[in-house]
Amino acid sequence: NQPLISSAISMVYYLWNSTFRQFEIGYGSAISWLVLIIILVVTLIQFWMQKRWVNYDLY
């Protein structure tokens, strides 16, 4: 079992820890691609939804 604190770390810290402290360069590279894809998907969803969030009507 892992301690509770290690189960609450962020994905970016996990990336840094795996790559630079444990020297797992390939695994760290795979994690960084996953982080990039997640950020890209969230950004594209926000760009797609921003047309519904903005109201230009003046009263």
In this structure, the number of other CB atoms found within 10 A of the CB of residue 35 comes to 15
Is residue 12 within 8 Å of 35, Cβ to Cβ? yes
* Mean pLDDT confidence for 45-49: 91
- Domain interval for residue 15: 4-52
Count how many domains the chain has: 1
Residue 59, domain member (yes or no): no
Residue 19, domain member (yes or no): yes
pLDDT the model gives residue 8: 76
Residue 40, domain member (yes or no): yes
1-30 pLDDT, tens digit each: 556 676 778 888 999 999 999 999 999 999
The whole-angstrom separation of Cα 3 and Cα 11 is 17
Residue 58, domain member (yes or no): no
pTM over 0.85: no
SS3 call for 25: helix
pLDDT the model gives residue 38: 95
